[in-house]
Structure 1
Amino acid sequence: MFRAIGNFFSRLFSWIVAPFAAIGRWYTRRGWILRISVGLAFVLFVGLNIYFMVQTQIWSGFNPDYVAAYEFDKRDTSAGARLANTGENAAETCSPSAIAQVTADLIDFNVDQNAWISSMLFYKLGFFGIDWDSTPFFDNKASFQRGVNQTVRRTAVELVDALGRVRGTSQIDGDLQKARENIQFSEDAWYFGLNPFGPKTPTPSFYRTAAQSLRSFNARLERCDAVFDSRADNLMQFLDRIAGDIGSTSAILRERSENHNGGWFDFRADDRFWFAYGQLYGYYGLLNAARADFRDVIAQRSLHALWMDTEQQFRSALNITPFMISNGREAGWIMPTHLATMGFYILRARSNLVELRQVLDR
């Protein structure tokens, strides 16, 4: 029996090595010019693959408590409020928007502190033609980044349509409009594409431009040359959009959890999990920022305790960072069900958002 097992693995190893041995024999029989050219191409290919693998595994700047660095609790005015002049000839200043600041920083986190995985060539090529999202390898960071980017896209829309203008009849802010246009660009564009055919501007360039536009808006707001309308109905609408966004994600998690109970062998479960995690990661910071931007409204409606509890629900969900995502049955006893757990935290956070909205609507 042991001899048969040994013969099987010997033949399997020979079958795996055979193509490489044939390539090696072909390579040694070629001229030196061809060998140098092929060798350089091989080294470049291996180097780019190593770079791709490293970038997917190193999450620079990842910190679930990243909002602490902003010190929003020290802000004592709502966004757009005029600040008292400190001298006779001092220029008029206004309070900047924490929401715009966090949104720009989330973009920076995605494309500057880290490589944007979804538009990298080797991510687009896949694993021998198989989409990386359909494998258990090298796709978690891409899904997380897309979840964060979803929060940025939603916030950019709200900044243009409501927060960055006075009611619905005022002029749209130019910087916010540019930010929205650029952040809505395709998430997987590389330097060259087939549809349409030809050279392209890669995705990270568009997102960096969006971040610059958001920072430009905040600089103008600080000079009182822009508007941030921190009314209760705008806050209520912003909470509605967040609740709707994560509610859609909870439905995706439920569908995957109920219909694909593959445990550790469900290779799409990690994509759903890390996308949801990225959303909660982004919205956790944006809710902290909204508390600073709508400070007066929250104080007037006595929402501080409920708001802090909502933020805590988002932060608690960020403690779920399993080494390996499993989509087991809810009644199972071997393989855990991380998707159902994440869905539970999302629904708790969403219920708090709905309660905040109801209090604001009274």
Structure 2
Amino acid sequence: MSDAPQSSGHAPFAVRPRWWWLAPGLVLAVVLYYAVGMRLAHVVDADPDFAPGPVAAGQSRAAAMAAQLIFREVDRHRWVANDPFFQPSAVLDDMPAFQIGMVGAIERFARTLDGLAADAGGGPDANLARAAGLLKYPGRVWMFDPRTSWAPTASSEKQYRSAARDLVLFNDRLQAGEARFERSPEALAALLAAARDDLDALAETAHAHSEAVSWPLFDGDADDLFFAARGRAYAWSLLLRELGWDFAPLLAQRDLGSEWGAMLDSLRAAARLDPVAVFAARPDATFLPSHLAGQGFLLLRARAQTADLAAALSR
């Protein structure tokens, strides 16, 4: 009779690999990497006192402000809207929306300024036209854009940095007498009309979204719309503040200083809104706030003030 051990019919106990206990630590490390990285990267800079730096006689303070805002966002704070998934900032949504909103306002300003230069004679300004074109570049393009090609391409921040340099070159040419910057009532009215139309579109978008949302508590788009509008309002508040200095003699001559200040106050109020969470409830909601409606009110007030100023300058 054989002395070999008889099988019990059960598989022997599986020995776990020695590294199995590293899995929870790895998960924790990934969570901390994204959580801490997001916190360090997140910067929504709505400083109302941000200045364009030294501006030489004959240059445009508004053009200098546009350039410095771009440099600040792409270099000092870093452009995050196009960050790939392996960077913690890729999970952010408020900061990217704010940055993209700012660039949208600056693009509108540069495009209007270029149109004024063309209307004044001599055709479009090369630097302004190039800056406006570069600022229309999508804000979420990294080193590759799979929507068009897998070949390496220009990143958003590279295009925006080039646009800022063109604005600086325009100011240099302006100082040298090689570029034109109309300081007439018609020119300022046109710049105000550009801001008015931009603010009008923002308020309309916010209203349409609030009307369409059925479950505002689970609305994932409200904060993106809110911060994009906030970025535009902030950029316009600084651009128009500096335009007030560019056109100071004209505003003093027309006695529009107090109206100009009231318009800037409305834009600053819209740019200052910073709720912990954004809700897009209906304006008559009982339990949830309507941050988009509150922001829209301030935007429409600023819009009305820009329209009144443009009308006063056109008379």
What TM-score range do you get, normalising by the shorter chain? 0.7 to 0.9
Equivalent position of 2:307 in the other structure: 354
User: How far did residue 226 of structure 1 move?
Assistant: 2.2
The counterpart of 1:65, out of the listed 48, 67, 74, is 48
Aligned: 1:182 with 2:134: yes
Amino acid at match of 2:74: V
Q: How does 1:329-344 map to 2 (within 5 A)?
A: 329-344=282-297
Aligned: 1:97 with 2:82: no
Q: 1:227 to 1:270 in 2, by over 3 A?
A: same
Equivalent position of 1:115 in the other structure: 78
The counterpart of 1:286, out of the listed 218, 235, 239, is 239
Measure, in 2, the Cα distance between the counterparts of 1:262 and 1:123: 31
Aligned: 1:248 with 2:201: yes
User: How far did residue 66 of structure 1 move?
Assistant: 2.3
User: How far did residue 152 of structure 1 move?
Assistant: 0.9
Q: How does 1:234-273 map to 2 (within 5 A)?
A: 234-273=187-226
User: How far did residue 51 of structure 1 move?
Assistant: 7.5
Q: Which moved more, 1:108-117 or 1:171-180?
A: 171-180
Q: Which moved more, 1:184-193 or 1:97-106?
A: 184-193
Q: 1:221 to 1:169 in 2, by over 3 A?
A: closer
TM-score (norm 2): 0.83
User: How far did residue 173 of structure 1 move?
Assistant: 2.3
Measure, in 2, the Cα distance between the counterparts of 1:178 and 1:341: 36
Amino acid at match of 1:65: P
Measure, in 2, the Cα distance between the counterparts of 1:340 and 1:350: 15
Q: How does 1:138-287 map to 2 (within 5 A)?
A: 138-162=92-116, 165=117, 167-194=119-146, 195-287=148-240
User: How far did residue 308 of structure 1 move?
Assistant: 0.9
Specify the SS of the correspondent of 1:264: helix
Aligned: 1:308 with 2:256: no
Which runs of structure 1 show a deviation greater than 6 angstroms over 4 or more consecutive aligned residues? 42-48, 123-126
Q: Deviations over 1:171-198 (max 9, x none)?
A: 3322222212222222111112321231
Aligned residue pairs: how many?
A: 295
TM-score (norm 1): 0.73
Q: 1:109 to 1:261 in 2, by over 3 A?
A: farther
Percentage identity across paired residues of the two chains: 26
Measure, in 2, the Cα distance between the counterparts of 1:261 and 1:340: 15
Measure, in 1, the Cα distance between the counterparts of 2:277 and 2:219: 11
Measure, in 2, the Cα distance between the counterparts of 1:139 and 1:168: 41
Amino acid at match of 1:184: K
Q: 1:50 to 1:26 in 2, by over 3 A?
A: farther
User: How far did residue 48 of structure 1 move?
Assistant: 7.4
Q: Deviations over 1:168-227 (max 9, x none)?
A: 431332222221222222211111232123111211011111111111211222233322
Measure, in 1, the Cα distance between the counterparts of 2:87 and 2:221: 17
User: How far did residue 52 of structure 1 move?
Assistant: 5.6
Specify the SS of the correspondent of 2:218: coil
Q: 1:197 to 1:28 in 2, by over 3 A?
A: same
User: How far did residue 125 of structure 1 move?
Assistant: 11
Measure, in 1, the Cα distance between the counterparts of 2:235 and 2:276: 21
Structure 1: gaps of 5 or more residues: 1-24, 30-41, 76-92, 127-131
Measure, in 1, the Cα distance between the counterparts of 2:123 and 2:28: 55
Equivalent position of 1:7 in the other structure: none
Cα RMSD (Å)? 3.1
Structure 2: gaps of 5 or more residues: 1-15, 21-26
Amino acid at match of 2:114: V
CA contact (8 A) 1:179 1:214 kept: yes
Q: How does 1:125-140 map to 2 (within 5 A)?
A: 138-140=92-94
Measure, in 2, the Cα distance between the counterparts of 1:189 and 1:244: 27
